[in-house]
Amino acid sequence: MSTVSDDALLEVGPLNKAFGTTPVLRDVSLTVRKGEFMTLLGPSGCGKTTTLRIIAGFEAPDGGRVRLSGVDVTDTPAYERDVHTVFQHYALFPHLSVADNIAFGMRMDKVPEDEIRRRVPEALSMVKLSGFEARRIQSLSGGQMQRVALARAIAGRPAVLLLDEPLGALDLKLRKEMQLELKNLQRRLGLAFIYVTHDQEEAMTMSDRIAVFNAGRIEQVGTPGEIYEMPKTSFVADFIGGANIFSAKVLPGAAGRAHLMLEDEYELDVPLDPYETLPEAGARVKIAIRPERVKVFYKDELPFGLIRFDAILKDTVFLGDACQIYLQMFKKAPERLAIAWAGGDRYAVHDDMDVPVIAAVQPEDVYILERDDA
């Protein structure tokens, strides 16, 4: 996303950063709009936390700028930036009461005490902890500490709120609750959130836009729908939702469509999205097919309009809400199994192994990804 709209609140990039000789960020550029929930998503060590720490002012980039509300704050120390952070392990002040924790930032900003007395309960009620003012930090549960950390960060009304895997230490049920609560809070406050997580489901649930990080780069920025339906790289396709990734050769074809030779065996003709470009004929590209979009037929019925693969069923795994079916799709590469998801009705799935089946996908469910130069 290189387009900078008028309501851009935070613009960073192109950030470069190395720790010693290890590069951790390579040309990372990002724009966050007013009131937007932006998630930085990626596996550990991908640079998402470093990006957040550069925005917060805890790290200086080797190259690139950070602009907040149109002002270059790259050289502004953390304590003078109008951003607040919710830390991974809360980082509450253990020697202060809940109220003093929340008031800390406002006292630093010289907010009058009578206004602080008004805003502390307000912040606590927003995180549903009314009446906790006098409690000691040590007496709180993990979920309550998380809420206090959140209240402390929003009480000072920053321009942007940074959240570094804030739900990572909570159990699954609490995490799900907090995800919805965070999203509601963000909408209510109209505050821009930059949220770091490695959990793709969390990112899909909460975000307006997601920036997918891999090995120090941003692979793709887009809405959850765009990221899921139009992945640009095999990493994005695989990391978000999971995907069967294959290699294909580009054959000459009609405009607006891609004519491909998949793994030297199947010829496909799939439509291109508008603005999607295809490498020249003869080049190799990677393609992705989502497991849940692969349909498996046990009888030889040719489904109309679908791309047909003659496959052999190798294994079936029942997972409760779904069945995972392993398929051998290619005669030339029998070890390369494809995965299909079927619904949770286990009796609809055959238990036999090594039987011929038909696997089929809609042409538009074949995603064309980056060039395959390997």
Partner 1 sequence: MDRALSWLLGGRKPAASHLLLAPASLWLIFFLIIPAGGLVLLSFAKTGPYGAIVWEFGFQNYRRAFDTKYLPVFARTLAFAGGTTALCLVLGYPLAYYLTFRAGRWRNALLVGLMVPFWSSCLVAYYSWMIVLGKEGLLNTALIRAGFLSAPIGFLYTPFAILLGLVYFYLPFTVLPLYASLEKVPRSVIEAAYDLGAGRWTAFFKVTLPLSLPGVVAGCVLTFIPCLGDFLTVEILGGPRYYLLGNLISNQFMMAQDWPFGSALTSILLAGLVGGLWLYQRWEKA
Q: Is 84 in the site for partner 1 (CB under 8 A)?
A: yes
By CB atoms closer than 10 A (0-12, 13-18, 19+), residue 11 is: middle
Tell me the site size for partner 1, rule CB under 8 A.
24
What is the distance in angstroms between the CA of the first residue and the CA of the last residue of the chain?
Answer: 27
Q: Which is nearer to partner 1, 2 or 44 (CB)?
A: 44
Sole binder of partner 1 in the list 26, 89, 217, 249 (CB under 8 A)? 89
Q: Is 71 in the site for partner 1 (CB under 8 A)?
A: no
Q: Is 105 in the site for partner 1 (CB under 8 A)?
A: yes
- Half-sphere exposure of 171 toward its Cβ, with a 13 Å CA cutoff? 3
Q: Is 60 in the site for partner 1 (CB under 8 A)?
A: no
Query: In the stretch 149-188, what mask flags binding to partner 1 with x, by CB under 8 A?
Result: ---x---x--------------------------------
**Residue 338, both tokens:** 């494809």
Nearest CA-CA partner of 149 in 116, 182, 176: 182
Sole binder of partner 1 in the list 7, 109, 267, 352 (CB under 8 A)? 109
Angstrom distance (rounded) from CA 125 to CA 145: 14
Q: Is 87 in the site for partner 1 (CB under 8 A)?
A: yes
Could you list the beta-strand ranges (E) of 229-330.
Answer: 244-251, 257-262, 266-271, 284-289, 295-297, 307-318, 323-328
Q: Which is nearer to partner 1, 189 or 251 (CB)?
A: 189
Q: Is 95 in the site for partner 1 (CB under 8 A)?
A: yes
User: Which residues, 6+ apart, have CB-to-CB distance to 246 below 8 Å?
Assistant: 262, 263, 286, 287, 288, 289, 336
Q: Which is nearer to partner 1, 108 or 180 (CB)?
A: 108
Sole binder of partner 1 in the list 42, 57, 224, 241 (CB under 8 A)? 57
Q: Is 76 in the site for partner 1 (CB under 8 A)?
A: no
The one segment of 77-85, 250-258, 268-276, 350-358 that binds partner 1 by CB under 8 A: 77-85
Q: Is 264 in the site for partner 1 (CB under 8 A)?
A: no
Q: How far is the CB of 355 from partner 1 (least distance, A)?
A: 56
Q: How far is the CB of 202 from partner 1 (least distance, A)?
A: 21
Q: Which is nearer to partner 1, 89 or 295 (CB)?
A: 89
Dihedral sign, CA of 224, 230, 235, 239? positive
Sole binder of partner 1 in the list 6, 75, 80, 335 (CB under 8 A)? 80
Q: Is 362 in the site for partner 1 (CB under 8 A)?
A: no
Q: Which is nearer to partner 1, 89 or 135 (CB)?
A: 89
Give the ranges where the chain is alpha helix by DSSP (H): 48-56, 98-108, 113-126, 142-155, 172-189, 200-206, 224-229, 234-239
Angstrom distance (rounded) from CA 319 to CA 86: 36
Where in 12-51 is the site for partner 1 (CB under 8 A)? Answer: none
Q: Is 58 in the site for partner 1 (CB under 8 A)?
A: yes
Angstrom distance (rounded) from CA 110 to CA 253: 67
Residue 103 phi/psi, 5-degree rounding, is: -75, -15
Q: Is 61 in the site for partner 1 (CB under 8 A)?
A: no
Angstrom distance (rounded) from CA 278 to CA 332: 25
Sole binder of partner 1 in the list 76, 88, 205, 324 (CB under 8 A)? 88
Query: Would you say 143 and 178 are in contact if contact means Cβ atoms under 8 Å apart?
Result: yes
Q: Is 326 in the site for partner 1 (CB under 8 A)?
A: no
Q: Is 136 in the site for partner 1 (CB under 8 A)?
A: no
Q: Which residues bind partner 1 (CB under 8 A)?
A: 56-58, 77-80, 83-85, 87-89, 91-95, 104-105, 108-109, 152, 156
